[in-house]
Amino acid sequence: MKHFLIYFLVFVVFFSCSTLGLSHKESETNSLSGIDTIDTLLTDKISIRAITLANNKVWYTADQSRFGCVDLVSLEKKEIEIGSDKKTEFRSIAQTKNFIFVLSVANPALLFRISKEDLSYELVYQERHEKVFYDSMQFWNDKEGIAIGDPIGSSFSMIVTKDSGKTWQKIAVGLLPKLEEGEAFFAASNTTITAKKAKTWVVSGGKQSRVFFSNTKGKKWEVFTTPIVQGKSMTGIFTADFYDHKIGFISGGNYENLEQNYDNKALTLDGGKTWNLVAQNLGFGYASCVQFIPKSKGNGLLSVGASGIFYSGDRGNTWKQFSLDKSLYTIRMVNDSIAIAAGKNKIIVIHFKKNQI
């Protein structure tokens, strides 16, 4: 009986780790223990929801038609005001080898291509409609890119480029999956879209909260349901990230109840086909942005939002609060221990402490 009990306990531990898609060895790899230091790159009266990293710079776009970059080595700052006399808000940003692209929300939709070399820019796409509202933009490679927006007709708005962003074409609604009544997208942190090689995931919210998946760069789509809170206009998935083509994480919650920390986090291990809720009544409430940590084998996650900065080393099953800062909207990893975060009135560099194994 004693030997049977030992074997049974070993089986339970092994089964639990397998269910989470996590081995004990993996759970100890490259884990973080807290925040070491925080350096401020930019402070101003500004709202930043979209950043990207390239050429040792953090590139950002914001409200009041503002766009700029900060050199992570020299700390030199450059900023310009883009567009016409009418102030607009940019919440989407993407890049190719030589250019940065920014896309505004609301009417009219304005998409600019900006030179990384001298910040000169040109308008490469515009769209006018009372319902136009673009939420996120990404590139699959140096030639092909995609942007997604809220529905005007029966499906979402989608524009694509095949010539490095010189021109953009809108895809006919009839070629896209139908949205449910009251289903749309959120422009919280430019993480509505995740693009990896030819694979694309787009996440929705509102009356329905689903995942739209394409392995053909948006030519054909599959639609998967999720258990994330939904049913109201401000509920659903606000952010998503995929570590690889299998391991993904979605989060968000209820923007009208920022402390609600259940039905707001889910993990997939099969590329988005099925999702399992994690950390019910644990960790953070509403999340604006979630990102996987590089070299963590898909175990490490960071989240920013209304509850502060949270970290998970076990694919979102448990969370540790690293900071009470509720003013951050978006975060991107420089490497496995340094991140850039931005939000209300600032951009910061976060240096994390790593556990010594």
pLDDT > 90 in the chain, percent: 89
* Residues 181/190, Cβ–Cβ less than 8 Å: no
What is the number of residues in the chain?
357
Pairing of strands 121-127, 109-115: antiparallel
**Exposure string (b/e) for 135-162, b if CB count within 10 Å is 16 or more?**
bbbbbbeeebbbbbbbbbeebbbbbbbe
Q: Which band of pLDDT confidence, cut at 50, 70 and 90, is reported for residue 356? A: confident
pLDDT confidence of residue 291: 98
pLDDT value at 193 more than 80: yes
What amino acid occupies position 50? A
Give 296: exposed, middle or buried? Use CB within 10 Å, 0-12, 13-18, 19+: buried
User: How far apart are the C-alpha atoms of 151 and 229, rounded to whole Å?
Assistant: 20
pLDDT confidence of residue 1: 41
Residue 121's closest CA among 70, 68, 72? 68
Q: Work out the end-to-end distance of the chain between its first and last CA atoms, rounded to an integer number of angstroms.
A: 36
pLDDT > 70 in the chain, percent: 91
pLDDT value at 344 more than 60: yes
pLDDT confidence of residue 4: 37
What phi and psi values does residue 179 have, to the nearest 5 degrees?
-90, 150
pLDDT confidence of residue 84: 67
pLDDT value at 207 more than 50: yes
> Which region, left, alpha or beta, applies to residue 302 given φ > 0 means left and ψ of -120 to 50 means alpha?
beta
Tell me the chain's radius of gyration from C-alpha atoms: 20
Mean pLDDT of all residues in 116-143:
98
| Cα–Cα distance list, 128 to 94, 104, 123, 222, 279 (Å) | 22, 12, 14, 29, 42
Residue scoring higher pLDDT (15 or 114): 114
Mean pLDDT of the chain: 92
Query: Tell me: the pLDDT tens digits for 314-329?
Result: 999 999 999 999 999 9
Query: Tell me: the pLDDT tens digits for 39-90?
Result: 999 999 999 999 999 999 999 999 999 999 999 999 999 999 998 678 999 9
pLDDT confidence of residue 30: 66
Q: Which band of pLDDT confidence, cut at 50, 70 and 90, is reported for residue 22? A: very low
User: How far apart are the C-alpha atoms of 333 and 91, rounded to whole Å?
Assistant: 19
Query: Tell me: the pLDDT tens digits for 268-303?
Result: 999 999 999 999 999 999 999 999 999 999 999 999
Give the three-class secondary structure for 174. helix
The 8-class DSSP code of residue 172 comes to P
pLDDT value at 13 more than 60: no
User: How far apart are the C-alpha atoms of 11 and 54, rounded to whole Å?
Assistant: 46
Q: Which band of pLDDT confidence, cut at 50, 70 and 90, is reported for residue 357? A: low
* Residues 39/349, Cβ–Cβ less than 8 Å: yes
* Residues 210/204, Cβ–Cβ less than 8 Å: yes
User: How far apart are the C-alpha atoms of 129 and 338, rounded to whole Å?
Assistant: 41
Which residues make Cβ contacts (< 8 Å) with residue 37, sequence separation at least 6?
A: 351
Mean pLDDT of all residues in 209-213:
98
The 8-class DSSP code of residue 269 comes to S
Predicted TM-score of the model (pTM): 0.91
Q: Which band of pLDDT confidence, cut at 50, 70 and 90, is reported for residue 245? A: very high
pLDDT value at 351 more than 50: yes
Query: Tell me: the pLDDT tens digits for 134-171?
Result: 999 999 999 999 999 999 999 999 999 999 999 999 99
Q: Which band of pLDDT confidence, cut at 50, 70 and 90, is reported for residue 95? A: very high
Helix (H), strand (E) at residue 15:
helix 2-19
Structure tokens at 157: 């708005």
Mean pLDDT of all residues in 240-267:
98
What phi and psi values does residue 6 have, to the nearest 5 degrees?
-65, -45
Range scoring the smallest mean pLDDT among 23-32, 153-162, 178-187: 23-32
